[in-house]
Amino acid sequence: MKKLLINAAILISTLFAAEPVEVDDRFSDSTKCKSCHLHIVKEWEQSWHAKSHYENNEYFRATTDYVSRKTRKSLSGVQVECATCHNPRISVTSTGIDHEIIVSMGLGKNSEVKKALENDVISEGINCIVCHNIGVIYSDKDETARGINRVEWTKSGTMVGPFDDARSPYHKVEHREYMDKDPNKLCLVCHANDRSVSDFVFINMEKEYINGGKLCVDCHMGSKKQGIASNLRIDNGKPKEREVRAHTFSGAHTDTMWEGALDLRLEQKKKELFVSILNSNPHNIPSGFGSREIIAELVFKKSDEVLETKALSLTTYYKDKRGKATIPHLAVSSSDDLSVPANGKRVLKTPAQRGADRVEVTLYYRLVNDEVHSLLDLTEPIWSQKFFITSKSISLR
Ligand code: HEC
Ligand code: HEC
Ligand code: HEC
Ligand code: HEC
Ligand code: HEC
* Overall residue count recorded for the chain in this entry: 397
Q: Whose CA is nearest to atom 10 of ligand 2?
A: 168
What are the sequence ranges of the domains in the chain? Answer: 2-244, 255-395
Strand duo 358-366 + 151-153: pairing: unpaired
Whole-number Å distance, alpha carbon 231 to ligand 5 midpoint, is 34
Average pLDDT over residues 333-348: 97
Q: What is the pLDDT of residue 346?
A: 98
pLDDT at 29 over 60: yes
Q: Whose CA is nearest to atom 12 of ligand 5?
A: 191
d(CA 55, CA 71): 21
Q: Whose CA is nearest to atom 3 of ligand 2?
A: 36
CATH superfamily of 255-395: Immunoglobulins (2.60.40.10)
Average pLDDT over residues 30-39: 98
Q: What is the pLDDT of residue 109?
A: 86
Closest atom of ligand 3 to 52 CA is 18
* Tens-digit pLDDT profile for residues 145-177: 999 999 999 999 999 999 999 999 999 999 999
Computed over every residue of the chain, the mean pLDDT equals 94
Ligand closest to the CA atom of residue 159:
2
Whole-number Å distance, alpha carbon 261 to ligand 4 midpoint, is 10
**Residue 1: pLDDT band by 50, 70, 90 thresholds?**
very low
* Tens-digit pLDDT profile for residues 252-295: 999 999 999 999 999 999 999 999 999 999 999 999 999 999 99
Closest atom of ligand 1 to 242 CA is 24
- Residues with Cβ within 6 A of ligand 3? 48-49, 51-52, 57, 60, 85-86, 88, 126, 130-131, 147, 183, 186-187, 189-191, 216-217, 220, 249, 251-254
Q: Whose CA is nearest to atom 1 of ligand 4?
A: 281
**Residue 97: pLDDT band by 50, 70, 90 thresholds?**
very high
303 close to 293: Cβ distance less than 8 angstroms? no
